[in-house]
Amino acid sequence: MFKSKKKIINDLDEIFNDTKKDTWEQKHAGDKSGKSISNNTEYKLKSGFIRVICNDWSENMKYVDKLAVSIVTKKFYDWINNDAYE
């Protein structure tokens, strides 16, 4: 899974070589034991962001590890955070 994420990041780096990129790892909030990890990379675009997320769940969690790519516009992000659940 992390090998696949690295390939995706390498491909995105070629396309978005002048784009601000942040990478961080944190304990997954969905696992109270703190043993599950979320590894994230985000490209900040003028119109929104692209995020590549790798969730590595601990063995005591009954979830499947996940690799996801999200492309989100600012307009959609603002709608989700401000209007969608009113």
What is the SS3 assignment for 37? strand
- Check if the beta carbon of residue 36 is closer than 8 Å to that of residue 57: yes
Token pair 């601000």: residue: 20
pLDDT the model gives residue 86: 72
- Buried residues in 10-29 as b, exposed as e (16+ CB within 10 A): eebeeeeeeeeeeeeeeebe
Per-residue pLDDT of 37-73, as tens digits, reads 999 999 999 999 999 999 999 998 989 999 999 999 9
**Residue type present at position 65:** D
Per-residue pLDDT of 9-24, as tens digits, reads 999 999 999 999 999 9
Q: Does the pTM exceed 0.75?
A: yes
